[in-house]
Amino acid sequence: MGVTIKDVAKKANVAPSTVSRVLSNSPRISEDTKKRVRKAMKELGYHPNVNARSLAIRSAQALGLVMPHSADKALQNPFFPEVMRGISSIAHELHYSLNISTGESEEEIFEGIQRMIHGGRVDGLILLYSRVGDRVMEFLVKENFPFVVIGKPHEYETEITHVDNDNIRAAKEITNHLIELGHRNIAFIGGGTDLVVTLDRLAGYQRALKEADIELNEQYRVHTEFLRSGGQRAVEQLFKLDHPPTAIVIADDLMSLGVITMLEEFGLHVPDDISIVSFNNVYLSEISRPPLTTVDIQIYNLGAQAARCLIEKVKNKDEPAKRIIIPHEIIYRQSTKKAPSST
């Protein structure tokens, strides 16, 4: 016969009800008691029957993750595996499994989420993006279903728990770095304008230029996919101009790799011919040639905090909405230098 809750309770010298509360991570149980019970579980080799517990408490003991587009495309970008690693660490600690909702189109993703919720497959959802006019977000608000957003909601901002960076401030700071190096012809490469993160980083870039009395040049603004190929297409567009930029603010590290590759095809080198700065500080930014000056947005921490917030909401439906801002830091490397004296 297998190890039971009573066996764990006896070894930990607590009541069986206390073991049950530890399994549900009840805040009423002290951390010392939780550690003692978990140690007893480990020593006895006890594994809770998740299916039985789920039926008893009407919980799937699972969280759903919603990608902005197909998993195949999203997972090309190191941001997503890293933010999922942060989510997974907390989910594992608190005994939740993860389900990923994906699809080739917005319609497929929406239908998948409906099946997840109505089928009782997940207790809550984490949206790994924030989009303007997102029908998924509207549906979740209407259904009053627990969810958290990584990013800043375009609507319902005070009603939705979200974990984000101050992207406007970060973009302003990193643009100012280029301005301080003497650059005035500064381009911006971002994702689609339906993504709130793009709009915020664009706003910070524009604010820095305005405060430095640098005229905004709409030809220096390119929107494409957060992929290496997106960065390549942006360079093709920018360097066909009569007066191409001497510096570029790029909203994503993976895009930056595409930018560097395409610049080399144009016979240009970073930072000797053009300076670039980027966002996210994924592992690729440190091993690229040259290593990128980029904004560290603490991706892992974004995921971990989102998971904690969601589990709090799952356990207490009346948990008030929170706005958590994860601090950022500019990591200075070798992708920038002073502007040519002719600019």
User: Where would I find the beta strands (DSSP E) of the chain?
Assistant: 62-66, 97-101, 124-127, 147-150, 162-164, 186-190, 221-223, 247-250, 275-280, 293-296, 323-325, 329-331
Q: Could you confirm whether domain 62-165+299-329 is CATH 3.40.50.2300?
A: yes
Distance (Å, whole) CA 105 – CA 309: 28
C-alpha dist (Å) from residue 185 to 84, 212, 301: 37, 12, 34
Distance (Å, whole) CA 105 – CA 330: 35
In CATH terms, 1-39 corresponds, of 1.10.645.10, 1.10.260.40, 3.30.1330.10, 1.10.30.50, to: 1.10.260.40
Fold agreement between 1-39 and 62-165+299-329: no
For the chain, the domains span 1-39, 62-165+299-329, 167-298
- Position 64 scores a pLDDT of 94
What CATH number belongs to 167-298? 3.40.50.2300
Q: How long is the chain?
A: 343
| This prediction's pTM | 0.81
Mean pLDDT, the chain cut into blocks of 10 residues (343 residues total): 83 88 80 90 77 55 87 80 97 93 80 85 94 90 93 86 98 98 97 94 98 96 88 93 96 94 94 97 94 98 98 91 96 96 53
Q: In this structure, what DSSP letter does residue 167 have? A: H
DSSP conformation letters of 191-259? S-TTBHHHHHHHHHHHHHHHHTTPPP-GGGEEE--SSHHHHHHHHHHHTTSSS--SEEEES-HHHHHHH
